[in-house]
Amino acid sequence: MANEFARHLRRNMTDAERRLWSLLRDRQLTGWKFRRQVPVGPYVADFACLERRLIVELDGSQHVEQSDYDAERSTWLVEQGFAVVRFWNHQVFEEPDAVVEAIWQALGATAHPQYPAHERLPVPSPLAGEG
């Protein structure tokens, strides 16, 4: 069931998901492989780098109303050994460099090669309960 749902989500990605996928696909982050709409247990992660056990989630306005569900989901994923980073959809369009830098840092790197250490951008991930 989760595989069918994941396939449906891959075929019907949001504009923000398509934009982020264009930045993550084809090992563009120095060889890190990301997958989109990945079944993980009872959930489907928006994006995942399974090698680094990193989940990247994009949140739109509907997530304001489902913050309890998102928190439960994130807790479960963390208990399974995943790190979870969340971004608002608008950040992908308005701050794509900051989003990529935050993902790069979450992968465990010290800085993305595009950004010198003194120019690193702050991590834009929403606080718990806000995304």
Which CATH number does the domain housing residue 51 bear?
A: 3.40.960.10
- Work out the average pLDDT over 71-96: 94
Residue 16 lies in a domain: yes
Is 10 contained in some domain? yes
Max mean pLDDT among 57-61, 70-74, 120-124 falls in 70-74
The residue range of the domain holding 37 is 2-119
Domain for residue 128, yes or no? no
Residues 6+ apart with CB under 8 A from 110: 117
Helices 15-24, 96-106: axis angle to 10 degrees equals: 60
For 22-69, the pLDDT digits (tens) are 999 999 888 999 999 999 999 999 999 999 999 999 988 664 567 788
- For the full predicted model, state whether its pTM sits above 0.85: no
Q: Is residue 98 part of a domain?
A: yes
Number of domains in the chain: 1
- What mean pLDDT is reported for the chain? 80
CA dihedral 96, 51, 82, 62 (to 10 degrees): 40
